[in-house]
Amino acid sequence: MHPPVWVVIPTYNEAANVEGIVRATVAELVRLVPEAHRVLIVDDNSPDGTGQIADGLAESLPRVEVLHRAAKTGLGHAYLAGFDRALHGDAELVIEMDADFSHDPRYLEPMLAAAGNADLVLGSRYVEGGGVEDWGLLRRLISRGGGLYARLILGVPIHDLTGGFKCIHRRVLEAIQLESVRAEGYVFQIEVTYRALLAGFRVSEIPIVFRDRSVGTSKMSSRIALEAMWAVPMLRRSGPAAVRSRQPSGDAIGSRDDG
């Protein structure tokens, strides 16, 4: 039997997307892991009614549930609440996925396959076969520049540190002291991966083509991008103390393109 898979989808004002993404995700999971899966929507009291739509889905789809949070305190907090719920449930694999179709559920299949040989699998836009559709030059530059900056500062050979489509084994979430993660947004994604590497877990990247959202509004801002500039160097100080020391498992880092 496949280990239980929980897909955590954070939502804020995704009324136009939530039903479609949940149904598409459930359809893939029914095909891939029929006996053991769950979709957890984490909604921060979206004013556009996303939470109510999600409740309706949970009523009609037995493996869907909703975690309602009282207020929007950031994507990192929403993920931490979702991880906590999944770990209190039977999750062995936790997948982070956006609600806006930027993360295509068809990648769940290669992601789960890669999780057989890795502790953390990253959906990567910047390995061979990956990419970004529909982004303007500025957004591309910020994403590539930010990723390279983090890679250099932290000294880790990861091609896509800021992506939010990943599959994490329970053992990783239990080892990286989630309660002390403070970062939000992109830095949250960097921090989870960085701590997993520091703890000696095997991280692998699989290529994904990221599609820009077609409906709903973006929560990306220049403030979030700038915040990352000073927050990334801080991770070097907080990270090592935070991870429980583990025996590195040999070839800790790999991606499909460079083994």
Site for Mg ion contains 17 (CB under 5 A): no
| 158 phi/psi in degrees, rounded to 5 | -105, 135
- Select the binding partner of residue 99 from ligand GTP, Mg ion, none (C-beta < 5 to 8 A, by kind): ligand GTP
Select from 219, 236, 244, 246 the one that contacts ligand GTP (CB under 6 A).
Answer: 219
How big, in percent rounded to 5, are the helix, strand and coil portions of the chain? 45, 20, 40
Report the amino acid identity of residue 238: S
Select from 32, 36, 87, 220 the one that contacts ligand GTP (CB under 6 A).
Answer: 220
**Strand, coil or helix: 169:** strand
Residue 49 near residue 253 (C-beta atoms within 8 A): no
| Interface pattern 67-106 for ligand GTP (x via CB under 6 A) | -----x-xx--x-------------------xxx-x----
66-85: which residues touch Mg ion (CB under 5 A)?
A: none
Select from 13, 25, 46, 102 the one that contacts Mg ion (CB under 5 A).
Answer: 102
The position carrying tokens 């009324």 is: 15
Can you tell me the distance from the alpha carbon of 181 to that of 195, in angstroms, rounded to the nearest whole number? 10
In angstroms, what is the minimal distance from the CB of 98 to Mg ion?
5
Site for Mg ion contains 189 (CB under 5 A): no
Site for ligand GTP contains 4 (CB under 6 A): no
Select from 100, 119, 160, 184 the one that contacts Mg ion (CB under 5 A).
Answer: 100
Can you tell me the distance from the alpha carbon of 80 to that of 142, in angstroms, rounded to the nearest whole number? 26
Select from 42, 66, 197, 232 the one that contacts ligand GTP (CB under 6 A).
Answer: 42
In angstroms, what is the minimal distance from the CB of 118 to Mg ion?
24
Report the amino acid identity of residue 220: M
What contacts 46, CB < 8 A, 6 or more positions away?
11, 12, 13, 14, 15
Structure tokens at 226: 């700038």
Residues that bind ligand GTP (CB under 6 A): 10-12, 14, 42-44, 72, 74-75, 78, 98-100, 102, 213, 218-220
